[in-house]
Amino acid sequence: MNLDDWPAWMTPLAAMATDEAAAKLWEIGENDLADEILAEPPGVSRTYGELPWRSGKPTRAFMSTHHAIGYLPPVGTRTHLTQIWPAETVAPDATLRTARVKVTIDKLHIADYPGGGTHRILLNCGVRSQASKQPDWLWFNMTCEARDGGDAPIAAWPVFTGIPVGPEGMQMQLNTINVCNKEDEKLLKLLNSDAFKGGLQLLAAAQPAVAPLSALAVGLAEITLQRNQNQGVQQMNIGLDFSANATRPRLAEGSYIVLQQANRGNPSSWDDLTYDPANGHIVSRREPGQSVPCNYIIISVSRYQGK
């Protein structure tokens, strides 16, 4: 398989045709939701994710292919609610051009994933430089568990250490797969080995283990998706560069919040949200005591400090 093609063949649940989505929902026990979407009149919606916008019915947090990208600057110790900025308004850090950076996963919050109980999640991450001499994608997987309304036990987990930034910036892809097939839990134990726990180290000119590990990450994710009951939930492609274009997210040191926006009840802009450092959650300004009812991932970029 061509690694550059991944994850083009991964169709998140929200992007599926309604009949395909219903079949997946039946597999994982979401029978009422499957019956409800099939009861929609013909022509109301072509995909599962379009249903909440067209029918006006209550929706679930995973019912969208749309993600918003927010940004938190790397300020000192935070004790109060902190403003989240749209990533398109970030001042790019030109000193990161052709530098090396460290990429970490700081949080995975599950407001609502399909199926019940504890969710086993395969988080697939990809990164590559823009306009560099080696533009190949590098891939890394990690597995975690979380219940609806909770956080996966992840904090500043290193994914890529020493990744070179291209002269035009870098690209990232984030994909989550909801693993409901019990037999696949044995397969995913491979990700708890020492070879995977430390992330990909890209510090030497030649790293013979990087390409095989990257290919293994893609192969494992592909096998998992093909298994009965497993389904992609979130998929996001992010380009971070140094341009002044108003519509582009910019690259700088700090934290990027990738938030899945599912329905009309979600906040309409980052002005409606804030970051609570006391619990590490994204909360509503109107109700700061509760985490926003959205699935989100927080990923951080920092300058690599090693030699």
SS3 assignment, position 173:
strand
pLDDT bucket at 86, cuts 50 / 70 / 90 = very high
Residues 240-291 pLDDT 10s:
999 999 999 999 999 999 999 865 445 557 888 999 988 889 998 888 887 8
Average pLDDT over residues 134-144: 77
d(CA 97, CA 168): 7
Spell out the domains of the chain, with CATH numbers in brackets.
Answer: 3-303 (2.60.40.150)
Here the tokens at position 73 are 């600057």
d(CA 270, CA 284): 10
Amino acid of residue 63: M
Are the beta carbons of 145 and 118 closer than 8 angstroms? yes
| Per-residue model confidence (pLDDT) at position 126 | 87
Strand pairing category for 200-201 and 157-164: parallel
| Per-residue model confidence (pLDDT) at position 123 | 87
pTM value is: 0.84
Average pLDDT over residues 176-194: 64
| Per-residue model confidence (pLDDT) at position 208 | 45
Residues 190-227 pLDDT 10s:
555 555 555 545 544 445 445 556 666 666 666 666 66
For 144-163, b/e burial (b = at least 16 CB within 10 A) is bebebeebbebeebebbbbb
For the chain, give the mean pLDDT. Answer: 79
pLDDT over threshold 80, residue 114? yes
| Per-residue model confidence (pLDDT) at position 143 | 82
Longest CA pairwise span in the chain (Å):
62
